[in-house]
Amino acid sequence: MIRIDLEKTKPDTKQTQILVLGLFEGEPELLLKRLENGLLSLVKEILENGEFTGTFGSSYLLPTFGKIGPNRIMLIGLGKKEVYSKEIVRIISGKISVKIQELGLDEFSLIPFSNLDKELAEAIYEGISLSTYRFSKYKSVATKLPELKDVTILVESDYHEIQEALDKSSLIVEAVIFSRDLCNLPPNDCPPSELAKVAMALTDDYELKVRVIERYEMESLGLNGIISVGMGSSNQSKLIIVEYHGAPESQKPYLFVGKAVTFDTGGISLKPGEKMDEMKFDKSGGCIVLAVIRAAAALHLPLNIIAMVPSVENMPSGSSYRPGDIIRMYNGKTVEVANTDAEGRIILADSLAFGIKTYDPKGVIDLATLTGAAIIALGANVAAAIGNNVSLMDKLKKVSEKTGEKLWELPLFEEFHDQIKSSVADIRNIGGRQGGAITAAAFLANFVADKPWIHLDIAGTAWTQDGTYERSYIPKGATGYGVRTLVRFLQEESHKN
Ligand code: BES
Ligand code: ZN
Ligand code: ZN
């Protein structure tokens, strides 16, 4: 992990390989008034002759020839002040750390772009540390750049609270990276049993309890939805349950459920070949909820939390479930399988019903790469949020505005339930082409009883795909979308206790 420290040192005297200064476009005086002595005269000259104007993402390097503390100065363009936001900070900070690595340096110092508070410090940290992530586990020849090790933020006043926020932030960033590493694993190295192992290993480092429900136990419990979807694969299905107890038992837990289809071929309703390889990311929801509970434990949040990860591989074979099958689910409802590719909702449904019955949670959030329709509706940069509880939804929306992990609510009107009616069972697992992300949620609604519940369809946001915006801090592959938002949601919930 990259270390970030705060230090009360004058920028012109700081011994550092490179000092980074941000400039708002067309506002040189905002930067200049914060500088002194030799540093001021160096930068002033560059800005006054119009050499560097601060357009978004642009940069300018200048040597200092030993006249001041820093060896070099990097000016970075923050763009127009009116559109400045925490998201801009994450993107710019990410660009800076990538550039520093490209220069072959392992350390830099930075003057905060604007008034330093906890949120700005967190955004800087997230940008710096999430942008340098690369999934290189399978590269025989390392194409790695020199590792960035230390960043110093130069401050003018007391900073203990901010340093504390940064320390917490680093635990959250570690969780994001954990989820990326797990989710990027190829399907041959990450069957359900591997996810179970990774979950078990969490108990080495964190105060977590892990229970893995195997096929025989699923049979006796009646988790027939999970059993059915996994039948076609020679890799055994697992229902992974992680418990975190940070509060007295009397306090009801939050329940997170994450879809972990380690590979989704579609099953007998086989998917077309193009981009099928991307279906290794169909385990994203599960990876995210494991990361969330890991972060909650690392932060010692005073809450109780349950993470459930139904994990299966959806394969076509002689033992697969078929279109036409009718499954009696854990909660007794019957489901007509009209398409074996709509498998995520089936495994989530059993997990939701089982989790709610077993743990009586105060709120439930599920995450799943559930439908291509969510991408058609909202594109690849916004997750679909669908639920049954206004106050839970409002909380999530507010938190997501802060984290930059965009989500947008779709309506779960009564009418959508008509689309999943079946002539032979209680419901069908598909609802036709119209409103596909919503009918998937309508299906899930049959399994959450009356609990406050939100479903996040992360099909577009879980990995970088066609249509994903280029953002420095979201490199290629699994994004970790949702970890920061859900952890922050939990942090805010714990302040209430
Ligand atoms: N895992 C897919 C959804 C998906 C597709 C996510 C593409 C990201 C990119 C899911 O299991 C699925 O196949 N859903 C079907 C549902 C349909 C058969 C009703 C879909 O979206 O096509
Ligand atoms: Zn599918
Ligand atoms: Zn799927």
- HSE toward the beta carbon, residue 197, CA cutoff 13 A: 7
Best mutation site among 261, 281, 341 for ligand 1 pocket (most ligand atoms within 8 Å of CB): 341
- Please report whether residue 221 resides in a domain: yes
pLDDT tens profile 248-307 = 999 999 999 999 999 999 999 999 999 999 999 999 999 999 999 999 999 999 999 999
* Predicted local distance difference test score (pLDDT) of residue 144: 67
264 lines ligand 1 (CB under 6 A): yes
Q: Are 443 and 429 in contact (CB under 8 A)?
A: yes
pLDDT digits 0-9 by tens, 426-460: 999 999 999 999 999 999 999 999 999 999 999 99
* Paired strand residues for 240: 212, 309
Check whether residue 344 and residue 289 sit in a common domain: yes
C-beta separation of 434 from 419 below 8 A: yes
pTM of the complete model = 0.97
Q: Do 144 and 213 fall into the same domain?
A: no
Nearest alpha-carbon partner for 347 in 444, 438, 215, 454: 444
Catalytic annotation, residues = 271, 345
Range of the domain at 406: 171-494
**Among 371, 429, 434, 456, which is best to mutate for testing ligand 1, by the most ligand atoms less than 8 A from CB?**
371
Residue that is last in its domain, among 152, 179, 214: 152
Instruction: Tell me the DSSP string of 100-161.
Output: HHHTT-SEEEE--SSS--HHHHHHHHHHHHHHT----TT-SS--PPPPP-EEEEE-SS--HH
Q: Worst-scoring range by mean pLDDT, 66-70, 392-396, 493-497?
A: 493-497
State if residue 459 touches ligand 1 by the CB under 6 angstroms criterion: yes
Q: How confident is the model over 94-112, as pLDDT tens digits?
A: 999 999 999 999 999 999 9
Residues 390 and 457 in one domain: yes
Closest by CA to 416, choosing from 438, 448, 388, is 438
Assess whether pLDDT exceeds 80 at residue 142: no
pLDDT at 194: 98
Confidence label for 146 from pLDDT (cuts 50, 70 and 90): confident
Q: What percent of the chain lies above the pLDDT cut of 70? A: 99
How remote is the CA of residue 120 from the centroid of ligand 3, in Å?
37
143 pLDDT more than 70: no
The CATH number of the domain holding residue 34 is 3.40.220.10
C-alpha 459 – ligand 1 centre gap (Å): 8
Contact indicator for 386, 438 with CB cutoff of 8 Å = yes
Q: What is the mean pLDDT of residues 31-44?
A: 94
For the Cβ of 339 lying below 6 angstroms from any atom of ligand 1, the answer is yes
Is 166 a member of any domain? no
Please tell me whether residues 204 and 116 are part of one structural domain: no
Predicted pLDDT at 1: 87
Any domain includes 57: yes
Q: What is the mean pLDDT of residues 366-381?
A: 98
Is 481 found in the same domain as 442?
A: yes
Please report which residue ranges of 389-482 form alpha helices under DSSP H.
Answer: 390-403, 436-445
- Of 240, 217, 235, 369, the closest CA to residue 312 belongs to 235
The total of structural domains in the chain comes to 2
How high is the pLDDT of residue 71?
97
Whether the predicted pLDDT of 232 surpasses 90: yes
Q: Is the CB of 343 under 6 A from ligand 1?
A: yes
Query: How confident is the prediction for the chain on average, in pLDDT?
Result: 97
